[in-house]
Structure 1
Amino acid sequence: MSNKWQVSGVNYANLDQPIWNLVITVKGPLGATSTFYPATPPNYEDLTLTQVKEYALQEWAKAIAG
């Protein structure tokens, strides 16, 4: 899945919630983009950007598979 899809943007937004909301922009194989809001991992403050991107791709794969 990671060879077809790429994370082109990672943002966190705090919408008056106790935890930050993860907002991901995913770029597809034909260049189209989609915004995706996966569940924020409980250890999000300890993750590197690379780890967040990997997490997002895993969550994206689950979302489009089901």
Structure 2
Amino acid sequence: MGEYIRGVVVKLHVTPEQEVLFKKNYGCTRKTYNELLNKYKAKYGDYNKIPTKNELNMGIDFS
């Protein structure tokens, strides 16, 4: 038989306070990714491929 990719869809019923925390967490994650991406592009140039997690984490100085 073939392989199947299965997924589960879950609907969360969050309180307004939890919704604010989720949005803040996502915003922080996105900001961090964008900062790393800018440092990667500054160091290696602007390529058309998206760098992997390992490429973003290797050899970048945060000072």
Larger radius of gyration: 2
Q: With the length of structure 1 as denominator, give the TM-score of the two structures.
A: 0.33
Q: With the length of structure 2 as denominator, give the TM-score of the two structures.
A: 0.35
Going by fraction, where is strand more abundant, 1 or 2? Answer: 1
